[in-house]
Structure 1
C-alpha cells in the first residue's frame, strides 16, 4: 500500500503531542535557569535581510542559508542563528536599556546542511547574551549559566565538561608568525576543524600558511598560553563551586568569524556527539551590523534542542527526570469524568465547568459509553484520576488510575478538595 503523498521535508520535524511535551520540557528548563540568573526574554523575527548574515558570520554559514527573494524583490533569509538578530535589535534600542543588557531568546532557526545525529535543517535554539560588559566576569556568568542549565537537566559531575579557549590567543599566535589578516581567517577555520579533519589535510592547509602541525599542537599543549581572561573565569567559577566543570582547551575557536575573544563549548564526557552548547565573546559584531554606529562589547552562547535532547535520552538519570516531568505535564488532563449514570450528564457538565473554572484540567466523553470503555479512555488520556458520577450523586468516587485506589468525595466543595488532592503525590492510600 502506498504511503502518504505529503510528508515533512528532509531535515524538518513534525511534533506529535509527546514530542511537543518533550520540547516544552527543554523550554521550561531554559527559561527557569535564565530567569534565575536575571535574564529577560525577547523575541526577533525568523525572517531577516540576508545581508545581516553576510556581514561577519564567515565559515560555512553563508553556504547553508535558506535564502530567497520575496514578492517585494527583497533578498531575505530564514535565520540560521539568533545572535545577529539580537545584535541588530540591541543596536536599534540600546539607548532604552541600562547596561549591561542580559537577554535570552528561544527561537527556531534554519540551516541547509546534511541531517545527522544531533543536527537537522530546522531546530530551536536557546540564545543567552550579555551586552555592554567587556570584563571576563560576564563570560564567567554565561559559562556558569550553561553549567547550571546542564545540572538542572539532571546531568552530574563527570557527564559533561566546558572547554574554554581564547580566540585572540590564536590571532596573536598567527600574527607573530607573519600570517596575513586574510590568512588568519583561514587559519582559524583550520583550528576549528582540528578534531574533525584528517591530520594530513590539516598539515597541508597549515603548510600553505607557513605553519606546521607540530607548532600548533605545542601551543595547544602549553597551559601557559591561557589568557588572563581565562584565569579570571576560572577564579570566578571556582568561587561559585563550579570550577571542576571547566577545562582549558586551546583547540576550541568556534567557526563563526565574529568571535573576538573567549570562546567555550559544552561537551558530553563520552564525546558521543557534537558540542551540546557553545559561544563566546563578539565585541565588534554590533558595531559591524550598525555600520559603525554603535560599538558595544558582548558575549553569549547558544544551546540547540536536537543535541541536548539526544544527550538527555542517552543518559539514564536525565532521561528518568524528563520522563517524570512528562508524566506530570504531558497528560491530556488530570481528571477524567466517568459517567456511570447517563441521567446525570447535566450534573456532570456542571461539575466539568466548575473544575475547569477552578484551574483543574479535566475531560469527559462526548457521548454515552459503557463504564469500562470510559475507564479505558481515561487511562489513554494520561489522567491521574477518574471521577465517577453515578447513582449515588451527590456523592462521587475518585479513583487513582495508577494504583487502583478509591476515595469517596462530595460535590459540595469539590473543586477546592480536588485542588488539594492533586497536590498530593501519587501512591496507595494509607487511610
Structure 2
C-alpha cells in the first residue's frame, strides 16, 4: 500500500472537500437562478459513444476496457455525448429550449500538470433547441454569475468571445479548402503563447493574414455583436471582450465560441464552450441547435487560491453534547432530538471524561458545547461557546409527547451569550 492515490487522481480530505463544496454550491445556485435544471448520467458509457463524436484517436485518452459482457466501455471523459443520448431519447417530452446542467466527475488519461488531472469535476450547462445568439449570452451570463458567487469579478477574469463561422469564412477567403480547415483551426488553437516567428513557421503564406487577426485588426461578426448586446443586457458586459485568438480546436463547434481566462494570464482556461449545432444529429439524435460550456474545478480552485479567496473551515457539527457518565442516556436523547430538529450535533460515543469530551468538541470544530451535568435533575443544562469560553445556563423540560425542549433554543444561544 503506497499511501498515495494513483497519478493524476486526488484525495479530498475534509478541508479540500469543504472548498469543493463551496464551488459546487456556487455552480448550483447560478444554475438555479438562471433557470437550468440538474440532470445526471452514468459514469460508464459505451466506447462507441465517444468515438462517434471524436474519432478513434480519442481512445488513447480514455480509461476504457471490455466489461464482463464483452462490451467495449469507457469512463466518461466529457458530458456532451451523454447529454446528446439523453436528449435524443426524451426531447419530445420537454419544452424547448431545454436548459440542463450537471456536475459530473470526468476521467481522461493524459499527462497531469498544474490545473489538469486525470479526473476532475466539471460544471456543464447546455441549452438545446434555441437558435438565437441569446442562448450564448444566457450561458455566458450564467457562468459569470457562478464566478461572482465565488467572489470573482470582471477585474479577475475575462470572457473571450470568438466565432468559428467567422473563421470558416476567413479561411475560405484565404483559399484554404474545406477539408484542410479543421487542421488549420486545430493548429491555431495550439498557438497561444507562440511568437510571430513561430506562427509564420507553422502557417506559411497564411501567417500575415492571421497575424492581423491576432493583433485585433478585425471587426466583430454579427453573431459576436449579438452576444455582446445580450451579455451587456444581462449585466456582464464588462466581463467580455472579442478575441479571435480563441478558436476552440474541437471540430464540432459551428458558431460563437468563448473561453474564460484569468486577467493575469497565469493559468489555463477556466472554462470554455460554444455553439455546436449538428452534433446531436451526428450522435444519432435529432437535428437540434445547441450551445454549452464546461468549467472544471481544478483551474478554478487554483485561481481562487491565487486570489486569496477565503475557504470555509472543515468543521464538524455545530453543537457537541458533553455529558457526565450518569447522564449518557439523556445525552443520547438530546442528540437525537437536536438532529431531528435540523441542528448539526455530535457527541463522544466512547463517553470519555468530561475534560476529554470538551477537548474533542474543540478539536472537531464545534461552536457550542451543550453541557449535560449534575444539574439535569433541576431542569438545567449548560451552554458554552468554545471560541470565546462564554458560558450560560439554559432550561430543559419534557413536553406531553415526551420530547425534550430546550429554552432558549439553539438558534437563540448567541443572543443569550451576547455573541
Q: Is the 8 A contact 2:115 2:298 kept in 1?
A: yes
Q: Whole-Å Cα distance in 1 between the matches of residues 56 and 250 of structure 2?
A: 6
In the superposition, the TM-score normalised over structure 1's length comes to: 0.90
Aligned residue in 2 for 1:54? 51
5+ residue gaps, structure 1, are none
Aligned residue in 2 for 1:216? 210
Aligned residue in 2 for 1:430? 418
Q: Is the 8 A contact 1:162 1:247 kept in 2?
A: yes
Aligned residue in 1 for 2:348? 365
Aligned residue in 2 for 1:331? 315
2:246 is the alignment partner of 1:263: no
Q: Whole-Å Cα distance in 2 between the matches of residues 416 and 63 of structure 1?
A: 64
CA deviations on 1:151-189 (whole Å, 9 max, x unpaired) are 110012311110000011111111122222221010100
2:82 is the alignment partner of 1:85: yes
Q: What aligned pairs does 1:259-338 form with structure 2 within 5 A after superposition?
A: 259-290=253-284, 294-316=286-308, 319-320=309-310, 323=311, 326-327=312-313, 330-338=314-322
Q: Whole-Å Cα distance in 2 between the matches of residues 342 and 86 of structure 1?
A: 56
Q: Is the 8 A contact 2:318 2:344 kept in 1?
A: yes
Q: Secondary structure at the match of 1:56?
A: helix
Which shifted more, 266-275 or 212-221? 212-221
Aligned residue in 2 for 1:411? 396
| Selected match of 1:374 from 340, 357, 378 | 357
Aligned residue in 2 for 1:14? 11
Q: What aligned pairs does 1:157-196 form with structure 2 within 5 A after superposition?
A: 157-196=154-193
Q: Is the 8 A contact 1:130 1:138 kept in 2?
A: yes
Q: Secondary structure at the match of 1:128?
A: strand
Q: Whole-Å Cα distance in 2 between the matches of residues 232 and 58 of structure 1?
A: 33
Q: Following TM superposition, by how much is the alpha carbon of 1:86 offset from its aligned partner in structure 2, in angstroms?
A: 0.6
Q: Following TM superposition, by how much is the alpha carbon of 1:331 offset from its aligned partner in structure 2, in angstroms?
A: 2.3
Q: Whole-Å Cα distance in 2 between the matches of residues 134 and 183 of structure 1?
A: 27
Q: Whole-Å Cα distance in 1 between the matches of residues 217 and 391 of structure 2?
A: 65
Q: Following TM superposition, by how much is the alpha carbon of 1:26 offset from its aligned partner in structure 2, in angstroms?
A: 1.3
Q: Secondary structure at the match of 2:375?
A: coil
CA deviations on 1:320-365 (whole Å, 9 max, x unpaired) are 2xx2xx23xx3221111111x3211122122112212212111111
Aligned residue in 1 for 2:34? 37
Q: Is the 8 A contact 2:120 2:296 kept in 1?
A: yes
Q: Following TM superposition, by how much is the alpha carbon of 1:84 offset from its aligned partner in structure 2, in angstroms?
A: 1.5
Cα pair distance change 1:212/1:119, threshold 3 Å:
same
2:221 is the alignment partner of 1:227: yes
Q: Secondary structure at the match of 1:392?
A: helix
Q: Secondary structure at the match of 2:53?
A: coil
Q: Whole-Å Cα distance in 1 between the matches of residues 51 and 352 of structure 2?
A: 61
5+ residue gaps, structure 2, are 398-403
Aligned residue in 2 for 1:346? 329
Q: Following TM superposition, by how much is the alpha carbon of 1:240 offset from its aligned partner in structure 2, in angstroms?
A: 2.3
Q: Is the 8 A contact 2:394 2:406 kept in 1?
A: no
Aligned residue in 2 for 1:144? 141
RMSD: 2.1
| Selected match of 1:396 from 381, 390, 395 | 381
Which shifted more, 353-362 or 216-225? 216-225
| Selected match of 1:241 from 219, 235, 238 | 235
Q: Following TM superposition, by how much is the alpha carbon of 1:81 offset from its aligned partner in structure 2, in angstroms?
A: 0.8
Q: Secondary structure at the match of 1:212?
A: helix
Cα pair distance change 1:381/1:189, threshold 3 Å:
same
Q: Whole-Å Cα distance in 2 between the matches of residues 33 and 337 of structure 1?
A: 37
Q: Is the 8 A contact 2:101 2:126 kept in 1?
A: yes
Q: Following TM superposition, by how much is the alpha carbon of 1:367 offset from its aligned partner in structure 2, in angstroms?
A: 2.8
Q: Following TM superposition, by how much is the alpha carbon of 1:242 offset from its aligned partner in structure 2, in angstroms?
A: 1.2
